[in-house]
């Protein structure tokens, strides 16, 4: 395990993922602001939630990149396409599993069953996060594929 | 019943606005900004435009009012079977509240309460995409509400009762008994997850919070004169049209309400015109709204940054160029007034008056503050140099005719005003490094040209264009800017000619002579009030005219751009900031003169000799 290589490329890959997500939002590909999803778990204020969420997203990126690195170490090799495949799998898990669990996990998110209440006002993502725009799955898969590709291409096993 | 312009009232949240008719129909809404695409535009085409009506099924009488000192609208349905009150608003809240609670990015609340016996209400919610060009697809998400997407954003409609939903609309009839409510929340977000507003007590809280917010804002006004109610309503309209994130003030909330019914004089006014600058600052400073004045001035200087020292006629709320003009052929237009336009073709015009407007606005602010930062001084000097080089050019002028350029007296007057104010700021030590001698020389040249070529001996009046014969209402502004005293012989003769050529029986004024005539121009009447108050007549005459003009506002005190002198109907875009700042300025001038206080031009101007000078006739 090459800790310094993980820290450097895990950090940079997360920054690129965040940038692609924000770019996709700016270009109208998706409405989803994932840092806001994360930050609004801690605070209701929109601006502060986005700031907190940015740091949470960065930390989560580093944690997830550890899993990528663990897989590279287990396989004995990295490479951009291996990273991309892991990234797409990661994206699918986010879309199919995490998004469907989110209304139950997020303290401020409404659910389809109960509707919005006084403290649960955030729109739930729906299947494949389609409530956040029909191209949201594309944006998520693309950004995670790039995340994985960067880690795979630049991470050094030793 | 098809509502007329004056049948509408406006609600807004300092980001976007909606028009609600006296019959309970919401017929105009653009989100997220004033100049965004409309999802309700029945105002411009009752069939294709989309609307959201809540109306009794039985014949009834309608009464409406704004809750005192707010932009929260209440419409009462008074039927034989019962009565109900509809409250319409776009919720607003303090920054502190927004930091501590979740609020939808953009929300519109409609809350109907049955106050007497029972009442049957017909609901029709029919949004249309892109000004009505296409249908929308409504999806029912159960307890979350109804959802549809349009223009990249997501809309959620929530109601405290189950509704009958069709694919592109909600159509239902509901009976409300005394004490029962029908609450709606329509929200819009371009970012997900959107905040979905809760209903029930939260609606009541949102209404209370908004009422308190508007009332606290209104309480900051220091106007103590006799026209407090109308001045307050105008200030509220101005605040509503201000775009909070940038400080810009849009000219009106609508596009293509016609200046002549059935004709093609239909323009998009959802942008920010620099020609309104000095009057807007005058209104805000005069009422004591320093924050708003500073915000507007900051926007003014920031928005123009990329083009300085050249200025454009209009900008969007963030200082971008107003969009290219486009005709929406699929809309029938207000009472058949076609075409409906978005964007504005006047964006490339040359209007030299706006330089004087921006300089005068900044000078007024500087006189309040007593100083200007270095960057603003640099901007002013750049504008002054531009004026000194270009004042002698023909331009399209303040009224934006599309027939070519001429040498407009008003443009010369404003160039004179700009240089005069810069010289005054130099004299007061507020402006450093200006080429004083150049400004002085050019100011005197403009002065000489106006006195020689803008005065027509034959018609015994100042005239609209150099060496011309026609008059227009901007000539009444000559004393306002301190160029010549209102009680000078020349100005009195000019006023007489303007009244003869442009006046109507009831004290209204056309802006210029035009055949066939459009409506009388709202602000021009208020200019006449100020002219009389400044010495062109007596204060009594000015008060009398002012009171007469106030009667042309609609039942909730709102003015459009123009008024049909024959019927009193409102014409042009609505509500119109230009008319409302004119109203406020006239009320302030009346108040100043009653108290014997100086007019702003007497404080901001350098050429004090001009005020009180008897012109040569």
Chain A residue whose CA is closest to B105: A46
Residue B598: give the domain boundaries. Answer: 220-604
Distance to chain B for A133, nearest Cα, Å: 8
Instruction: Classify residue B444: in a domain, yes or no.
Output: yes
Span B294-299, mean pLDDT? Answer: 94
- B593 shares a domain with B462: yes
Per-residue pLDDT at A113: 82
State pLDDT tens for residues B161-212.
999 999 899 999 999 999 999 999 999 999 999 999 989 999 999 999 999 9
- B457 shares a domain with B323: yes
For residues B343 and B582, give the distance between their C-alpha atoms in angstroms, rounded to a whole number. 25
For residues A87 and B406, give the distance between their C-alpha atoms in angstroms, rounded to a whole number. 66
Q: Is B101 left (phi over 0), alpha (psi -120 to 50) or beta?
A: beta
CB crowding B238-260: b at 16 or more within 10 Å, else e: bbbbbbeebbbbbbbbbbbbbbb
Instruction: Classify residue B204: in a domain, yes or no.
Output: no
- B537 shares a domain with B495: yes
Contacts of A37 in chain B (CB under 8 A): 193
Per-residue pLDDT at B470: 95
pLDDT band at residue B414 using 50, 70 and 90 as cut-offs: very high
CB contact under 8 A, B147 and A131: yes
Span B593-607, mean pLDDT? Answer: 80
Check whether B49 has a pLDDT greater than 70. yes
Confirm whether the ipTM is greater than 0.95: no
pLDDT band at residue B605 using 50, 70 and 90 as cut-offs: confident
- B249 shares a domain with B186: no
CB contact under 8 A, A44 and B101: yes
CB contact under 8 A, A123 and B193: yes
Per-residue pLDDT at B610: 46
pLDDT band at residue A100 using 50, 70 and 90 as cut-offs: very high
Contact A67/A75 with Cβ under 8 angstroms?
no
Chain B residue whose CA is closest to A119: B102
Distances in Å between the alpha carbon of B529 and those of B353, B502, B585, B590, B615? 22, 15, 10, 8, 21
Per-residue pLDDT at B607: 56
State pLDDT tens for residues B480-500.
999 999 999 999 999 999 999
Q: Give pTM, 2 decimals.
A: 0.93
- Sign of the alpha-carbon torsion through A111, A114, A119, A123: positive
Distance to chain A for B7, nearest Cα, Å: 35
- B51 shares a domain with B88: yes
- B458 shares a domain with B402: yes
3-state secondary structure of B57: coil
State pLDDT tens for residues A27-80.
989 999 999 999 999 999 989 999 999 999 999 999 999 999 999 999 999 999
- B587 shares a domain with B454: yes
CB contact under 8 A, B154 and A31: yes
- What end-to-end distance do the CA atoms of chain B give, in Å? 56
Instruction: Classify residue B198: in a domain, yes or no.
Output: no
Contacts of B142 in chain A (CB under 8 A): 112-113, 115
Number of domains in chain B: 2
CB contact under 8 A, B147 and A46: no
For residues B492 and B490, give the distance between their C-alpha atoms in angstroms, rounded to a whole number. 5
Tokens encoding B571: 């014409």
Instruction: Classify residue B206: in a domain, yes or no.
Output: no
Q: Cβ contacts of residue B159 below 8 Å, gap of 6+?
A: B145, B182, B183, B184, B185, B199
The residue out of B218, B233, B263 marking a domain boundary is: B218
The residue out of B183, B218, B253 marking a domain boundary is: B218
Check whether A158 has a pLDDT greater than 90. no
> Pick the residue with more confidence: B276 or B522?
B522
CB contact under 8 A, A25 and B191: yes
CB contact under 8 A, B156 and A123: yes
- B261 shares a domain with B183: no
How many residues comprise chain A? Answer: 158
Chain A residue whose CA is closest to B139: A131
CATH for B133: 2.70.98.40
Q: Cβ contacts of residue B523 below 8 Å, gap of 6+?
A: B578, B579, B581, B582
Instruction: Classify residue B199: in a domain, yes or no.
Output: no
Q: How crowded is residue A137: how many other Cβ atoms within 10 Å of its Cβ? A: 21
State pLDDT tens for residues B331-379.
999 999 999 999 999 888 999 999 999 999 999 999 988 999 999 999 9
Check whether B304 has a pLDDT greater than 90. no
CB contact under 8 A, A45 and B197: no
Per-residue pLDDT at B421: 97
> Pick the residue with more confidence: B598 or B258?
B258
CB contact under 8 A, A115 and B143: yes
Pick from B149, B191, B196: which is nearest to A116 by CB? B196
pLDDT band at residue B613 using 50, 70 and 90 as cut-offs: very low
- B233 shares a domain with B134: no
Q: Residue written as tokens 């840092």? A: A35
State pLDDT tens for residues B546-573.
999 999 999 999 999 999 999 999 999 9
Q: Residue written as tokens 């778990």? A: A41
- B294 shares a domain with B155: no
Per-residue pLDDT at A114: 80
CATH for B544: 1.50.10.10
Instruction: Classify residue B574: in a domain, yes or no.
Output: yes
The residue out of B218, B233, B267 marking a domain boundary is: B218
- B544 shares a domain with B477: yes
Lowest-pLDDT choice from A113-122, B150-159, B493-502: A113-122
- B494 shares a domain with B450: yes
Pick from B101, B143, B152: which is nearest to A28 by CB? B152
Check whether B604 has a pLDDT greater than 80. no
Instruction: Classify residue B200: in a domain, yes or no.
Output: no
CB contact under 8 A, B198 and A121: yes
Average pLDDT, chain B: 94
Check whether B616 has a pLDDT greater than 60. no
Instruction: Classify residue B203: in a domain, yes or no.
Output: no
Return the number of CB contacts < 8 Å for A and B.
88
Contacts of B101 in chain A (CB under 8 A): 44
Per-residue pLDDT at B608: 47
pLDDT band at residue A116 using 50, 70 and 90 as cut-offs: confident
State pLDDT tens for residues B55-79.
999 999 999 999 999 999 999 999 9
């Amino acid at each position: 395990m090459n800790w310094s290589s993980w820290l450097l490329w895990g950090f940079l890959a997360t920054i690129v993922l965040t940038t692609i997500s924000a770019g996709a939002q700016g270009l109208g590909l998706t409405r989803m602001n994932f840092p806001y999803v994360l930050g609004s778990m801690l605070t209701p204020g929109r601006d502060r939630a986005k700031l907190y969420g940015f740091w949470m997203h960065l930390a989560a990126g580093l944690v997830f990149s550890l899993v990528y690195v663990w897989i590279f170490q287990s396989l004995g090799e990295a490479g951009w396409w291996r990273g991309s495949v892991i990234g797409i799998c990661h994206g699918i898990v986010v879309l199919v599993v995490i998004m469907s669990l989110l209304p139950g996990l997020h303290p401020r998110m409404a659910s389809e069953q109960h509707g919005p209440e006084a403290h649960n006002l955030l729109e739930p993502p729906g299947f494949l996060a389609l409530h956040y725009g029909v191209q949201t799955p594309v944006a998520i898969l693309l950004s995670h594929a790039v995340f994985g590709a960067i880690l795979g291409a630049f991470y050094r096993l030793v | 019943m098809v509502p007329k312009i004056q049948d509408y009232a406006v609600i807004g949240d300092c980001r976007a606005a909606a028009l609600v008719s006296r019959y309970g129909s919401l017929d105009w809404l653009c989100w997220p900004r004033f100049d965004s695409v409309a999802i309700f535009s029945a105002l411009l085409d009752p069939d294709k435009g989309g609307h959201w009506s809540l109306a009794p099924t039985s014949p009834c009488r309608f009464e409406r009012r704004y809750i005192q000192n707010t932009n929260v609208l209440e419409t009462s349905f008074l039927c034989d079977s019962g009565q109900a009150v509809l409250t319409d608003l776009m919720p607003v809240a303090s920054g502190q509240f927004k930091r501590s609670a979740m609020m939808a990015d953009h929300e519109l609340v409609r809350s109907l309460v049955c106050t007497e016996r029972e009442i049957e209400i017909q609901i029709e919610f029919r949004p249309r995409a892109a000004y009505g060009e296409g249908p929308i697809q409504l999806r029912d998400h159960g307890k979350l509400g109804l959802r549809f997407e349009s223009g990249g954003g997501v809309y959620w409609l929530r109601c405290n009762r189950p509704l009958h939903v069709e694919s592109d609309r909600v159509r239902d009839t509901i009976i409300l008994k005394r004490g029962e409510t029908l609450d709606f929340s329509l929200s819009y977000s371009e970012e997900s997850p959107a905040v979905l507003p809760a209903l029930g007590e939260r609606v009541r809280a949102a209404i209370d919070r908004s009422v308190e917010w508007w009332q606290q804002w209104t309480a900051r006004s220091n106007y103590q004169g006799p026209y407090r109610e109308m001045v307050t309503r105008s200030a509220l309209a101005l605040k509503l049209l201000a775009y909070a994130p940038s400080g810009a003030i849009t000219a009106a909330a609508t596009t293509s309400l016609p200046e002549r019914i059935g004709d093609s004089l239909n323009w998009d006014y959802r942008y920010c015109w620099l020609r309104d600058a000095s009057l807007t600052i005058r209104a805000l400073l005069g009422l004591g709204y320093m924050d708003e004045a500073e915000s507007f001035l900051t926007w003014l200087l920031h928005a123009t940054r990329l083009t300085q020292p050249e200025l454009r006629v209009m900008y969007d709320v963030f200082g971008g160029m107003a969009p290219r003009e486009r005709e929406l052929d699929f809309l029938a237009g207000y009472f058949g007034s076609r075409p409906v336009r978005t964007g504005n073709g006047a964006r490339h015009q040359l209007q030299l008056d706006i330089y004087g407007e921006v300089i005068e606005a900044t000078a007024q602010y500087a006189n309040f503050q007593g100083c200007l930062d270095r960057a603003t001084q640099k901007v002013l000097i750049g504008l002054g140099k531009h004026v000194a080089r270009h004042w002698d050019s023909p331009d399209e002028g303040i009224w934006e005719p599309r027939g070519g350029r001429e040498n407009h007296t008003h443009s010369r007057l404003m160039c004179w005003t700009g240089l005069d104010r810069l010289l005054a700021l130099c004299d007061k030590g507020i402006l450093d490094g200006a080429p004083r001698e150049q400004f002085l020389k050019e100011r005197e040249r403009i002065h000489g040209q106006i006195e020689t070529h803008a005065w027509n001996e034959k018609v015994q009046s100042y005239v609209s264009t150099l060496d011309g014969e026609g008059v227009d209402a901007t000539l009444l502004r000559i004393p306002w800017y301190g160029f010549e005293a209102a009680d000078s012989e020349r100005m009195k003769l000019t006023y007489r000619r303007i009244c003869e050529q442009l006046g109507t029986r009831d004290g209204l004024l056309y802006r210029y002579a035009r055949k066939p005539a459009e409506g009388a121009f709202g602000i021009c009447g208020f200019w006449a009030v100020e002219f009389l108050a400044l010495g062109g007549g007596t204060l009594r005459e000015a008060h009398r005219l002012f009171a007469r003009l106030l009667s042309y506002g609609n039942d909730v005190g709102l003015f459009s751009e123009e008024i049909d002198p024959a019927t009193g109907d409102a014409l042009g875009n609505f509500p119109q900031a230009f008319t409302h700042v004119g109203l406020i300025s006239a009320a302030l001038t009346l108040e100043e003169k009653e108290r014997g206080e100086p007019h702003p031009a007497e404080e901001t101007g350098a050429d004090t000799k001009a005020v009180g000078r008897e012109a040569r006739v």
